[in-house]
């Protein structure tokens, strides 16, 4: 297909910084709802997207149509939270509206009944032509030629650590804090404790979720575990069902609406930190195909200006790094080498800085493609083994989480591509001596894949000492098969990873308990990561 959509890059600098550019008032750093109301800026109509100045020759987004639906008839949906690089003080509230609205905002406060002044939100309008889509639902005879989606984002800085905040989103004609507001319109989140001042915490992770009852079940499991945050390792909605990064992929933009509606009950209160997968390469939106991702999500993306899905952040004693696995993917090469080595250079600098920080006990890296896996459907990623695994070894990365293969698999600790020792479920691994543990958690809801060997998991262990074939693609795309011995736990089913982090106390070292939990809460794997 030759048609391309209209797109633009979005400025991270244009997001609101409460207390700095937003005009809300603080006292000792605490957001005061009453003061914020008094000092709130005059609401501004944000009917058109806030965009960077386009480069010469770049297309621009169309203005909203002349006829407008009344604001009172338009309800926000698909709320999702994200942390900034400092989760003790920075949170991004994101959502959608079904049509253009005037003066969208978020209200935030310390009590559900006192949400303070409206804080303006940025609108990112994404226009997708029906001509290059394959809608999964029937289309009316008379229909527009484009699908227009309105994504809204408000970043709130200078929050108080370890504090519960309440918020609601709205726009002119729909104000949850006014008359007619509903209790269900108000959600809450909690900021992280300041580094070094908090107790233990839990976070969850999976990839390859999609839309459906298994996807909903794993999302509901997150809610039941009530983690501090959730990591989504790419292949989120499968709106792009092909995943090749080419314009002949089957695509339906509105499946993203279903994805956000499905996850709203969880993502509206638990920040979701997202990595990009191959199904997020939507080539109709810009050269790298990430224009849709930039419209829908606001991650820290602090590797460099306009990096997408490449960022680092810290939660208490854990340093976290999100990588773009498409950059090193020989299996699906649409974005292979698109950062031209910049990501690897940044990764090494961040790993060195985190490992040198005495307040960081553990380093967790998350990405979509599997560095190591014996599932043959997508195989393992030789590019990651060559470019990144040596850095994981050098800086003693504790845990690498990925999706891509729709199964659960945990390796024995690996160094220089080989297992250092056998670590069964229930055992403890020391990354300093043993190496890095790799976990594939791609059972978030997408259709399941298969292993070339029998499953072996907690309570259902099988003989598991024989070598297992691993399939990789080389840079030219040719497949190779290698026998490996590090595939310790394999489970074919829907599940997520829950990581319970305990800081050092009373002479006991810090530790992470890594669990795999099925939709009904059954544990299929458990291993403790403890340094020293």
SS3 378: coil
Task: Specify whether the CB–CB gap between 137 and 3 falls below 8 A.
Answer: no
**171's tokens:** 């726009």
Residue 296 CA to residue 206 CA, distance in Å, equals: 19
Would you say the C-alpha torsion 204, 418, 372, 303 has a positive or negative sign? positive
Q: For residues 76 and 185, what is the distance between their CA atoms, to the nearest angstrom?
A: 9
Classify each residue of 57-72 as buried b or exposed e, where b means 16 or more C-beta atoms within 10 Å of its C-beta: eeeebeebeeeeeebe
**What pLDDT is recorded for position 25?**
27
pLDDT per residue rounded down to tens, the chain (532 residues):
333 333 333 333 333 344 322 323 222 233 333 323 322 222 222 233 232 323 333 333 344 445 678 889 999 999 999 999 999 999 999 999 999 999 999 999 999 988 999 999 999 999 999 999 999 999 888 889 999 999 999 999 999 999 999 999 999 999 988 755 566 799 999 999 999 888 899 999 999 999 999 999 999 999 999 999 999 999 999 999 999 999 999 999 999 999 999 999 999 999 999 999 999 999 999 999 999 999 999 999 999 999 999 999 999 999 999 999 999 999 999 999 999 999 999 999 999 999 999 999 999 999 999 999 999 999 999 999 999 999 999 999 999 999 999 999 999 999 999 999 999 999 999 999 999 999 999 999 999 999 999 999 999 999 999 999 999 999 998 999 999 999 999 999 999 999 999 999 989 999 999 999 999 999 999 999 999 7
Model pTM score = 0.89
Q: Are strands 495-502 and 201-206 parallel, antiparallel or unpaired?
A: antiparallel
Question: Would you say 516 and 416 are in contact if contact means Cβ atoms under 8 Å apart?
Answer: no
Do 438 and 484 touch, CB atoms closer than 8 A?
no
pLDDT for the residue numbered 134: 95
Q: What is the pLDDT of residue 255?
A: 98
pLDDT value, residue 181: 56
- Around Cβ 30, how many Cβ atoms within 10 Å? 12
**CA distance linking residue 100 with residue 47, whole number of Å:** 6
Structure tokens, 276? 């990009």
Determine how many CB atoms are found less than 10 A away from the CB of residue 328.
25
pLDDT of res. 532: 78
Q: How far apart are CA 308 and CA 10, in angstroms?
A: 11
Q: Compute and round to an integer the Cα radius of gyration of the chain.
A: 23
Token digits of residue 54? 């386009």
The per-residue DSSP string of 143-188 comes to --SEEEEEEEEEEE-SPPTT-EEEEEEEBTTB-TTSTT--GGG-EE
Contact 462, 226 (CB under 8 A): no
């Amino acid at each position: 297909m030759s048609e391309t959509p209209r797109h633009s890059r979005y400025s991270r600098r244009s997001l609101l910084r409460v207390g700095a550019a937003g005009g809300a008032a603080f006292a000792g750093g605490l957001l005061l709802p009453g003061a914020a109301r008094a000092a709130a800026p005059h609401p501004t109509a944000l009917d058109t997207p806030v965009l960077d100045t386009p480069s010469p020759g770049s297309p621009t987004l169309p203005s909203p149509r002349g006829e407008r639906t009344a604001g009172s008839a338009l309800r926000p949906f698909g709320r999702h939270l994200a942390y900034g690089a400092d989760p003790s003080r920075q949170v991004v509230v994101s959502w959608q509206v079904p049509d253009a609205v005037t003066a969208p905002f978020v209200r935030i406060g310390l009590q559900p009944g006192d949400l303070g002044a409206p804080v303006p939100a940025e609108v990112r309008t994404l226009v997708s032509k029906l001509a290059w889509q394959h809608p999964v639902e029937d289309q009316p005879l008379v229909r527009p030629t484009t699908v227009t989606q309105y994504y809204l984002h408000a970043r709130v800085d200078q929050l108080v650590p370890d504090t519960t905040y309440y918020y609601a989103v709205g726009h002119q004609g729909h104000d949850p804090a006014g008359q007619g507001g509903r209790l269900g319109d108000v959600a809450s989140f909690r900021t992280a404790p300041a580094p070094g001042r908090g107790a233990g915490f839990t976070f969850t992770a999976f990839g390859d979720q999609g839309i459906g009852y298994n996807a909903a079940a794993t999302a509901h499991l997150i809610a039941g575990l009530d983690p501090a945050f959730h990591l989504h390792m790419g292949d989120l909605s499968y709106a792009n069902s092909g995943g090749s990064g080419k314009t002949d992929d089957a695509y339906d933009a509105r499946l993203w609406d279903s994805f956000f509606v499905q996850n709203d009950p969880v993502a509206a209160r638990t920040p979701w930190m997202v990595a990009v997968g191959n199904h997020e390469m939507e080539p109709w939106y810009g050269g790298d195909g990430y224009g849709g991702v930039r419209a829908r999500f606001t991650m820290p993306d602090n590797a460099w200006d306009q990096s997408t899905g490449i960022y680092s952040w810290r939660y208490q004693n854990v340093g976290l790094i999100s990588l773009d696995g498409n950059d090193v993917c020989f299996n699906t090469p649409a974005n292979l080498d698109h950062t031209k080595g910049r990501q690897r250079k940044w990764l090494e600098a961040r790993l060195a800085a985190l490992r040198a920080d005495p307040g960081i006990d553990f380093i967790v890296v998350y990405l979509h493609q599997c560095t190591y896996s014996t599932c043959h459907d997508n195989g393992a990623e030789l590019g990651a083994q060559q470019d990144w695994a040596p850095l994981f070894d050098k800086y003693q990365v504790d845990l690498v989480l990925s999706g891509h293969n729709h199964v659960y698999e945990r390796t024995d600790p690996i160094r220089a591509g080989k297992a250092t020792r056998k670590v069964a479920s229930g055992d403890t691994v020391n990354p300093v001596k043993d190496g890095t543990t790799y976990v594939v958690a791609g059972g978030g809801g997408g259709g399941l894949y298969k292993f070339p060997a029998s499953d072996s998991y907690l309570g259902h262990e099988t003989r598991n000492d024989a070598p297992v074939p691993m399939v990789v693609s080389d840079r030219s795309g040719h497949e190779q098969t290698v026998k490996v011995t590090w595939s310790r736990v394999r489970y074919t089913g829907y599940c997520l990873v829950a990581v319970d982090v305990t800081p050092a106390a009373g002479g006991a070292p810090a530790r992470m308990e890594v669990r795999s939990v099925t939709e009904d809460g059954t544990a299929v794997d458990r291993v403790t990561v403890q340094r020293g």
